[in-house]
Structure 1
Amino acid sequence: MEKLKNLNNFVIAITKISHIVHLANETFKMCNNNRRWWVRPANHTREEEGFFRTCIQQLQQKDEEHFYKVTRMTVKNFNLLLTLLQERLRRFSNRKPICPETRLALTLMFSAQGCNFNVNAWTFKMGVSTVKQVIYETCDAIWNELHDIYLSTPNRSEQVLIAEKFVVKTGMPNCLAAIDGKHINIVRPSNSGSLYYNYKKTYSIVLLAACDANYVFTYVDVGALGSQSDGGMLAQSAFGKKLLNGTLEVPREVNLPGTSCSFPYYFVGDSAFPLKANLMRPFPGSNLPADKEKFNMVLSKARLHIENSFGILSNRWRILHTNISACPKNADKIVLATVLLHNFLMLQNDRNYFTLELVDRNENNQEIHGHWRNEVNPLDSCRQGAVNRSSSYAFELRNILKEFIRTSF
């Protein structure tokens, strides 16, 4: 009798446990929006019917012109990039993982065409969360694997070569780079208040960059709040702090060409930046004397290199013209990846990616706008903030440079 009673209690206990497990399963389903399947039925055919297999792979094999339009690179450069990233993009799973080639193609199409996540999910037969994860991971891989190769800080000898190129192209001696900042619009971050709200009444992060005379970015910093000015972001960035306090590694000063006047190397920027011994900006105001107008004109020729670099970047990677629907941290990853891809293709001398007609140029003493200005609107520049007080030495250097330019042309 006692054994029967114990058996009955055991059965009751098992029944209660079963009921509790059932309730737990139901609660889990409710918390996960009653997920009915691990992979949507329509996505089971991704390998056979997804966009990569039905379109991109066929273009890769049969139509390189349209393959370039989709990915912004030739098949040769795509394969080279895939080789560099393959190990970082490889995944291992009990289910068949998304191959590195598909991951890279998806990220390039997203960046080049500016498609939103839902369109890419439908096209590539993936879940939206999977598409986001693939894009963010691939952008991370591009930055981590390539930035030491294609965006490394120029050493002193490389900086001297950059300065020589600038003086040949623009007449600006000892110039190491042109610098500027642009707004990259994003969807309003949650609980951000007005931190990312800019003077254009949109939400943005700021891309600060410098470039050489060949439209290749040499320094880049992204992620500052949209409410900051160029000068404000410069002071906050690691590169800017070194530039402003004079600890940035640059070549020793040399004589200006054809003179015995020793002069430091410097960067050029617009009026949003402070005037420093190693950072030249134009003379302010209108109706200036001829010598100051001439100085501003030559400085503008050098500074236009960064404007054109941003123009090429945003023309080729149209995601930069959308409101990027990602939190600021992930938006930073996307922007940095586009900068790396730009440098990769510029340094590979991809003639499809860059042509001289794409940028502003002078033909027969006539200024001609680059094609990028006809195809996309320029990225919004940062507003002018409160400019730091400049030293008398910085003013003296600018006047010396003004006199050199006045007598050299």
Structure 2
Amino acid sequence: MDTQRQKKLAAIIYICYYIKRKRCLEKNSIPRKKRNMTPRSVWVNEWLLKRCTEGAYEKTLREFREINNQKYLFKNYLRMNETTFSELLKKISPFVKKNDTNMRKAVPDCERLACTLRFLASGDSFKSLSVVFRIAPNTISLFIPEVCDAIYKTLKDEYLQVPSNEDQWNEIARKFNEKWNFPNCIGAVDGKHILMEAPTRCGSTYFNYKGTHSIVLMAIADAEYKFVYIDVGCNGRVSDGGVFGKSTFQHALNMNSLGLPSSRPLEGRELNVPYVLVADDAFRMQKHLLKPYPGRNLSAGQRIFNYRLSRARRIVENVFGIMAKRFQVFSRPIRLNPTKTTKVTMASCALHNFLITKSSNYVESQTDEEGNLIPIEFNQVSLRPVQEGTVEQPNNYISNEAKEIRREFEEYFMSVNGEVPFQYRHL
């Protein structure tokens, strides 16, 4: 008897499930008009159809190209001249060009690149760019990350490549010694927080100590304001030292796979010292990375060392400033998710090196509203005395080898061969 009741109950449950499922299928198959959904009024908005004649690429930029005395406007608008734009377009065109269909014409690759460069140069919203270029905002949101990804992939091998042999590292060290009076230096390392709006469903993952949401750009710069190495995408909660400690560059340092030259003595000295990076207090000092002496009660030699190291280390700070000035997208929180923000940052770093190589006055000067060149004198930037802004920290985690290397540089900077006349003004 119980068995029959169980069979009947199972049959009733199955019938109810079948009826419910059938009703759901019928509901989803109801035509759009019966579901009270507003049908699309037009296939393409009429103002978007005027892109070929009224868009920024076909109207504004064409005007800049045709007027001889206003060609600098093209460079100010896209941060590069027409020749450099054409060269960059040729490189990325195979990766961003789309085919036309029977339904509509694709946005040309030149307009995709121009819109992306304008986004990097101004940081405008997609809706603002839509009005200027006459491209739908949802279309812009799709192709800007694609173009940024293509820019980075096509430029990184030629303009953003880590040196792999001794000759290349020696060239970087030679320029550091000539321009910034710091021998055996292969780069200045520091991190920069790339601000962005709080990502959805991420909680406090990207919340940093400054009270904003960000990802970290860890970079190593050479003496000519170029990026030698970048690491982008780590959440802003991690410190600069933590990001560098987990980077591929630190791993290569530990494995001795960077191809660095052998240790050599400084001029007039006998102790062999390795090639080093210069950094601030946020990093852990090691054999190939020097940071300032901490504390306030420092000797004259330690103060001189801190000044000379800060003078070389500020190069990477200048690089961040130059890039943020050229690409105003970094002047405000980026309204993209972390993945797209990472692509924008990597593309900007690659473009920075690309433009320095192609333009002789990219770093040394900038243009005012009348097109006149204004020189940038980084040597006049005031340096915060490191010995007055740091707090004494325990040095038990610093190896004796690293301490000895730092002491050797200190004695060299106080010697006849290593001193510079202006260093004593900063005591």
**Equivalents in 2 of 1:60, 1:246: separation in Å?**
50
**Shift of residue 309 of structure 1?**
0.8
Task: Name the SS of the counterpart of 2:187 in structure 1.
Answer: strand
Structure 1 position 93 matched with structure 2 position 100: yes
**Equivalents in 2 of 1:319, 1:176: separation in Å?**
29
Q: Which moved more, 1:139-148 or 1:242-251?
A: 242-251
The partner residue of 1:263 within 265, 270, 273 is: 273
Change (3 A) 1:267 1:352: closer
Aligned to 1:7: none
Tell whether the 8 Å contact from 1:308 to 1:359 is kept in structure 2 after alignment.
Answer: no
Tell whether the 8 Å contact from 1:268 to 1:299 is kept in structure 2 after alignment.
Answer: yes
Change (3 A) 1:190 1:388: farther
Aligned to 2:143: 134
Structure 1 position 58 matched with structure 2 position 66: no
Aligned to 2:405: 397
Tell whether the 8 Å contact from 2:32 to 2:39 is kept in structure 1 after alignment.
Answer: no
Tell whether the 8 Å contact from 2:356 to 2:362 is kept in structure 1 after alignment.
Answer: no
**Shift of residue 39 of structure 1?**
2.4
Structure 1 position 201 matched with structure 2 position 211: yes
Tell whether the 8 Å contact from 1:179 to 1:303 is kept in structure 2 after alignment.
Answer: yes
The partner residue of 1:147 within 148, 156, 160 is: 156
Question: Structure 2 length normalisation: TM-score?
Answer: 0.81
Q: Which moved more, 1:217-226 or 1:149-158?
A: 149-158
**Shift of residue 317 of structure 1?**
0.5
**Shift of residue 350 of structure 1?**
3.8
Tell whether the 8 Å contact from 1:346 to 1:354 is kept in structure 2 after alignment.
Answer: no
1:253-402 aligned at under 5 Å gives the runs: 253-352=263-362, 354-355=364-365, 357-361=375-379, 367-368=380-381, 389-402=397-410
Structure 1 position 192 matched with structure 2 position 202: yes
**Shift of residue 318 of structure 1?**
0.6
**Equivalents in 2 of 1:209, 1:263: separation in Å?**
24
**Equivalents in 1 of 2:363, 2:74: separation in Å?**
13
**Shift of residue 176 of structure 1?**
0.1
Deviations along 1:195-239, one digit per CA (max 9) or x if unpaired, are 100111111111110111000100001111111111011122222
**Shift of residue 359 of structure 1?**
4.8
**Shift of residue 26 of structure 1?**
5.1
Aligned to 1:6: none
1:109-188 aligned at under 5 Å gives the runs: 109-155=118-164, 156-188=166-198
**Equivalents in 1 of 2:273, 2:194: separation in Å?**
36
The partner residue of 2:262 within 252, 257, 260 is: 252
Tell me which amino acid in the other structure corresponds to 1:40.
N
Q: Which has the higher contact order (CA 8 A, sep 6+)?
A: 1
Aligned to 1:80: 87
Root-mean-square deviation over aligned CA pairs: 2.4
Deviations along 1:179-199, one digit per CA (max 9) or x if unpaired, are 000111001011111110011
Tell whether the 8 Å contact from 1:111 to 1:338 is kept in structure 2 after alignment.
Answer: yes
**Equivalents in 2 of 1:182, 1:398: separation in Å?**
25
5+ unaligned residues in a row in structure 2: which ranges?
A: 1-25, 366-373, 384-392, 420-427
Deviations along 1:343-371, one digit per CA (max 9) or x if unpaired, are 0011113425643933511xxxxx4469x
Task: Name the SS of the counterpart of 1:257 in structure 2.
Answer: coil
**Shift of residue 245 of structure 1?**
5.8
Tell whether the 8 Å contact from 2:77 to 2:121 is kept in structure 1 after alignment.
Answer: yes
**Equivalents in 2 of 1:204, 1:198: separation in Å?**
7
**Equivalents in 2 of 1:387, 1:125: separation in Å?**
59
**Shift of residue 287 of structure 1?**
3.3
Change (3 A) 1:127 1:386: farther
Aligned to 1:9: none
Tell whether the 8 Å contact from 2:222 to 2:315 is kept in structure 1 after alignment.
Answer: yes
Question: Structure 1 length normalisation: TM-score?
Answer: 0.85
Tell me which amino acid in the other structure corresponds to 1:78.
F
Deviations along 1:95-143, one digit per CA (max 9) or x if unpaired, are 2111111111111111011111110112111211111112111101101
**Equivalents in 1 of 2:289, 2:159: separation in Å?**
24
Change (3 A) 1:222 1:298: same
Tell whether the 8 Å contact from 1:185 to 1:205 is kept in structure 2 after alignment.
Answer: yes
Tell me which amino acid in the other structure corresponds to 2:139.
T
Change (3 A) 1:248 1:158: closer
**Equivalents in 1 of 2:358, 2:36: separation in Å?**
51
Aligned length: 370
Q: Which moved more, 1:165-174 or 1:289-298?
A: 165-174
